[in-house]
A and B are shown apart, each in its own frame.
Chain A
């Protein structure tokens, strides 16, 4: 990176090279990935890098990272509730730790520690259980109490004055925040370098299926012949999957977040409270990024609401009374496809050649690297990697749900 910088300095005012290029749509691709977010681009990158499959198109109806990848609150962690979930998300954290080197692009991963607060006896029990499961799976995670919480986060009100006093917290030191756009751009660049075609402003309008097998994709820019399609469209997953006549166990619900004006650095850790439906962290620019639980009704609309702002302001002030003078800078919404068990749905479908990477609800961004890597392996070898076998679509009729609600709902 540094040599590149020096070379750039001597290049005068010539602009740097483009990180990815525009291409004409080819008539045929080996693999078509629908959705140019972190998941789709990561999958394209690992297909090219680890399996030598470079004849890949990533179709994005808007610009890359326009959906959930650019709208999440950028929290990465692996302190989940089920052993399957912990193993899976921990692999993701491990890849994130090496990602700046691997992509030769600074993704600004800051492992500052992650606190999940418990305000009730039930909450403390859940945290205790999560800590045990995490430790068995080798994840650094333990239960701490108000004196230690106060040391980590002095501005947090740990007294018994609030309506929901803080009783304990699950402390997860490897958790932290990352520059989410950089992850998208880094994967896009490295996929582009290896020959993957990234097509922005290319919306999929139909999928051709002949005798139970995918044969092509219709887009707003023309027809593509292909035998393998991956649906990595998150919030819009049901609209794509309905093109091949399959229903998914998903309901699309907006999730809102907001950011305050910049403050001096005072918050070192990520603070999450399930009872108060809030998660809060301070960015490198000093802004507080805050998110809540999903909206009260399903929708594909990405409009923000005052109800959300009022709610989150009240909850944040319960935790940090000293923030009462701070102003909100902006708010936004993204859409999340919620599965019934809060675990993703990955792999094969009844339609041959049509694969899914959906059900990412409110926790998809943190899984991008490992989801991309395992799905690339699945596409290249035709075999489901053990890590994602529990997340197959058929688990619903086999009654083998992976209940992750206790750690995934408002657990960012």
Chain B
């Protein structure tokens, strides 16, 4: 993977971006969690060898945090798109 597509700026060298780890969901009520559930949120990762939805930050460009779907075996980027907060 040499290029990554920023939703604002288009195709850019991957060195312009910072990797932000796989996408996980925040607990709705952190104070209600047990120690095990909290550790699960903080530390445990799926770490798949497959398509992975993950965070990227265009840190030397527009500064946008966005999502990418990338295959972690081949580094092929399937798509990139801005994060939209879902109402739950």
Contacts and interface: CB of A to CB of B under 8 A. Distances in A.
A398 B15 contact: no
B45 A250 contact: yes
A251 B47 contact: yes
Contacts of A296: 15, 18-19
Interface of B: 14-15, 18-19, 21-22, 35-36, 38-40, 42-49, 52, 54, 72-75
B39 A396 contact: yes
A298 B75 contact: no
A348 to B, nearest CB: 15
A296 B21 CA distance: 11
B46 A238 contact: yes
A397 B40 CA distance: 8
A249 B43 contact: yes
Interface of A: 236, 238-239, 242, 247-252, 296-301, 303, 307, 337, 340, 396-399
A325 B18 CA distance: 33
Contacts, number: 69
21 contacts: A239-B48, A242-B46, A247-B46, A248-B45, A250-B47, A251-B47, A252-B47, A296-B15, A298-B22, A298-B52, A300-B49, A300-B73, A301-B75, A303-B75, A307-B15, A340-B43, A396-B43, A396-B44, A397-B36, A397-B38, A397-B39
A145 B75 CA distance: 44
Contact of B45 (A247, A300, A301): A247
A238 B48 contact: yes
A251 B36 contact: no
Contact of A299 (B39, B40, B72): B72
A297 B22 CA distance: 10
B49 to A, nearest CB: 5
**Which among B14, B35, B43, B73 has the greatest number of chain A C-beta atoms within 10 A?**
B43
Contacts of B35: 397-399
Contact of B74 (A242, A247, A301): A301
B39 A337 contact: no
